[in-house]
Amino acid sequence: MTPFTPQIQYTRLPTSSPSPSISPTSTLNSTPNPSRSSSPFQLKLKSSPLPIMSSSKRFRIRPIQAFLTISILAICLLPFLHYKREEVKGYFQSDYLKIDLSQQHIPQASGGISEHLNIPLTLEARLHYLLSKPALYQWEAELQNRHNCPFYTFSRNTYFFHDGKPEQWEKVDPTEIRRYRSKMVDYLRTVEREGGQLVWDKSMEKDVLPEDRRGIILTGGEGKTLARLKISLHMLRHVLHSTLPIEVYHFPDELQDPTERQKLETEFDVRLKEVGGKSSNGKSWHIKNSAFLASNFTEFVYMDSDNIPLVDPRTLFDSIEYKQSGSVFWADLNKDHPDNAIFRIVGKTCTDDHWPAEAGQLLFDKRGNNGLNLAILHLSNHMMTNPDLYGFLSYGDKDTFRYSFYALGLPYQQAPKIFATTGGYQTQNGESSLDFCGHSMIQWGLTPASARHDPTYHPPPAFLHTILAKHRSNLQPSKLFSHIKRPRLDGISEPLLVRTLYEFTGDCFALTLKGPDGAPGVENSMGDGQGVDTFALRDVLGDGHVWREVKRISEEFVKINSNS
């Protein structure tokens, strides 16, 4: 088979031409760009075929014929080359870089350590490397962290979780850092001594049927949480027709009604699983860690109970991103604070190239990173079960997965696109408004193998995570999920997204650009193509059965919120 040769484009540094604005059609339902027009040299070849011998003889070109043909072409091209002499001269100079357009849209794995360090991919080697990293004071790491995570790209100091934290982070001195690292190692050793397995191996699935090694995990079991969970299950089984096995994890005091249990098991074909350790303060995020470790699934998609799937999760396992490192995490709406002591603890520099991840959905393979992905789940569990140590370093479970990858120097994968804000033109109290009010997140899908070499590909919506909508009452169903706002350039590694000041505004959050829109033709435009666009969700989803069901669910969702 002839190997594939990727597209190559030559790009001048710095880029001098603005990116064109992106329409909803070209962005969300795009097709590959047609090939470039042939150059004059190519046109000449097509219009001047070489002499062909009679059909009874082999095709052969004599040296004199080749010389004459090249001479004629050179004479024809000389005026063009003279007129374009500066461009032709610059084309071959060193201020051009080769960019492989066919892979540019797939983000590289995040969180790993450089291969040149030659740290073996074993747990012992990674823990030894963690303990050997320098333990720094805050002032020693401040310059580099603040350079890589600058304050001008996000309101880091006013983000609610960061409020009042810098003073606490600064008190974490080198002695404390070494204590944190030692506790990580001690915890993992304890798990091992008590019979737990830290590194996945094939023996862990020897008693598991092949069809039960990959599935969906959800959590929840009471009140409004259970009502919203049923919406997700309905979408999975009756709209998207997913055939993956589903496990629903709950605490002992939940789902005790036999009728309710039977209804869930028969109507949605789920397996109900009980785990302990319910928190008294109402924030029992650690149930996720318990579920991941207890499940027999080697590979799983996790979804929060307030997350509405828009595609069959089975398709995500075949994506390029997932196969690169055995895990995928989707971006959250905040950015890291450069002074957070966690970066000194795990021995890593803060960087905006790794977006903070939310945990409303994630894709995970325990076999990933030579089986060390299982150790990631244990280390995350350690962080979640020690809020006195990590409560001021991470906001819930979502950060602990990423911090665990950092601590062991293992790569994880980011979804290729940042989320879109979802909502409608009503206030958070349900009154009609001319202003957009966002309360949910559209998280886009991943890259299928068929789009590996298609830089114009944009994944369809995969999840509708109703992070704030579940806390709103009196909302109008018709405007609940009517529109989305998204960055025009929404690639997770897009420099104009990473290094430009976007912000998320208030209780009706939306992604807004601080500064002039970059679309061509706009007054005061920077001409760089960046900005924020608004689309009707119907146009994004298409007028099919998924959109019709989202409309119907809106009525049900509002009723759940209205119940006391």
Distance CA 229, CA 221 (A): 8
Angle between helices 373-384 and 174-193 (to 10 degrees): 120
Is the per-residue pLDDT at 317 higher than 90? yes
Q: What is the pTM of this model?
A: 0.81
- Asked which of 40-44, 58-62, 87-91, 434-438 is least confident by mean pLDDT, the reply is 40-44
Token pair for residue 252? 């002992």
pLDDT at 269: 97
Closest CA to 376 of 162, 188, 125, 195: 188
- Looking at residue 340, its pLDDT comes to 96
Provide the sign of the torsion angle of the four alpha carbons 304, 533, 413, 348, taken in this order.
negative
User: Mind listing the pLDDT tens digit for each residue in 241-292?
Assistant: 999 999 999 999 899 999 999 999 999 999 999 988 776 665 666 789 999 9
CA dist list (Å): 109 to 113, 323, 328, 492: 11, 11, 9, 11
Q: What is the pLDDT of residue 58?
A: 54
Q: Each residue of 191-224: pLDDT tens digit? A: 999 999 999 999 999 999 999 999 999 998 888 9
Helix axes 373-384, 397-408, angle to 10 degrees: 130
Q: What is the pLDDT of residues 9-44, one digit of tens each?
A: 444 444 444 444 444 444 444 444 444 444 333 433
H or E stretch including 293? helix 287-294
H-type helices in 409-500, by residue range? 495-498
pLDDT in tens, 523-534: 888 888 888 999
Given a cut of 70, whether residue 482 has pLDDT beyond it is yes
